Amino acid sequence: MPSDSLPLIWRKFGERYDLDGNYCENCKTAYFPARQVCPKCRRRGKLVPQKMPKTGKIISFTEVFSGPAGFEHETPYFIAIIELENGTKLLSQIVDSEKEKIKIGARVEKVFRKISDIDPEGPIAYGYKFKIRE
CATH class of this structure's domain 1-18+54-134: mainly beta
pLDDT digits (tens, 9 = 90+) for 108-134: 999 988 776 666 666 767 788 999 998
Distance CA 103, CA 54 (A): 18
Sorted by where each begins, the domain ranges of the chain are 1-18+54-134, 20-52
Residue 102 Cα distances to 21, 59, 76, 105, angstroms: 26, 11, 13, 9
pLDDT digits (tens, 9 = 90+) for 41-91: 998 999 999 999 999 999 999 999 998 887 778 899 999 999 999 999 999
pLDDT digits (tens, 9 = 90+) for 6-15: 555 555 555 6
